[in-house]
Each structure stands twice: as C-alpha cells, then as structure tokens.
Amino acid sequence: MSGTGGYFPGALARLGRWLPAPLLSLHAVAGLELARRLKWLTPPPELDGRSFAITVQDLGLRSSFQVRDGAFRPCWDRAPCELELGARSADLLALMRAETDADTLFFQRRLRISGDTELGLIVKNWLDATPRPAWLQRLGAAR
C-alpha cells in the first residue's frame, strides 16, 4: 500500500484526480442535501453564497459545493473554494460522529484547513453545535 496511510492502494487514491469534478461532488452534495431535508443539518445564513471543498485524502476524492438559498449545491469546476478541509476518511467519520473535534484533529495535523479563517470558524462552531442523529451515534458504537 503506497502513500495512503495503509488504507487503499495508491491507484485508487489517484482515481479521484481523473474523475470530473461535478461527478465527485454529487455524492457528497446529495448526502448533505438529504441531511438538510431531514432536518439533521441546517446551514446557518452566514454560509449562504459561500463555497467549500472537502477532500478525503486517502481516497483522493475532493467534493466541492456551495450553500445557496439555504440548500447545498455542487460546484461545477475545480476552482479553489473559499474554505477547504482535508482529512483521511476515518478522521472525517470521527468528526461526523462527534468522537473527536476539529480542533483536536487540526492540532494533531490530521485535519487540513485552508482559505477564509472567519468562514472556517463559522463552520467549526456550526458543526460543533449540530446534534448528531441517533443512527450516526449507533454506527460509531458498532465499530
């Protein structure tokens, strides 16, 4: 296993660089939008019109999206976003389940954050304050 933290072969980790950006973003945006519609995740008004990217480093996948009129929408190009987050899949899942927080991951150099600092703080505080659905907590306990 080369260069991916031992989780995936290097060829799989490079696959995301060859796929069209919208294709990579659609799966993440669909999940975010479903969570919004089920009232699990409501973006605050400060995020409206802003662009974000999440990179799953061990998979080589980068999903970019924006919040528009309170809904999540894919970005259709590979242009830089206002806020970029990157981590391995296991760390992103731990963050989603609230098993760890963004500050811990950041200071352990397991979460990469770049772009608009003020926007990053808004997103961090929003995610810290968002209650996790029961099924997500059970998923974390099943490991």
Question: Would strands 51-56 and 83-87 be described as parallel, antiparallel, or unpaired?
Answer: parallel
Question: Residue 88 to residues 8, 44, 54, 100, 134: CA-CA distances in angstroms?
Answer: 11, 26, 10, 13, 23
Q: Which two tokens stand for residue 142?
A: 């099943």
The counts of H helices and E strands in the chain are: 6, 5
Instruction: State the Rg of the chain over Cα.
Output: 15
pTM: 0.78
pLDDT band, very low/low/confident/very high, at 19 (cuts 50, 70, 90): low
Q: Which two tokens stand for residue 102?
A: 């963004």
Tens of pLDDT along 81-101?
999 999 999 999 898 888 888
C-alpha–C-alpha distance, residues 22 and 100, integer Å: 30
Q: According to DSSP H, which parts of 16-100 are helical?
A: 21-37, 89-96
pLDDT of residue 138: 67
C-alpha–C-alpha distance, residues 72 and 77, integer Å: 15
Residue 56: is its pLDDT beyond 70? yes
pLDDT band, very low/low/confident/very high, at 28 (cuts 50, 70, 90): confident
C-alpha–C-alpha distance, residues 127 and 96, integer Å: 8
Domains in the chain, CATH or no CATH each: 10-141 (3.30.1050.10)
The pLDDT > 90 percentage for the chain reads: 47
pLDDT band, very low/low/confident/very high, at 10 (cuts 50, 70, 90): low
- Average pLDDT over the chain reads 83
Q: Which two tokens stand for residue 98?
A: 């609230």
Q: Name the more confident of 63 and 9.
A: 63
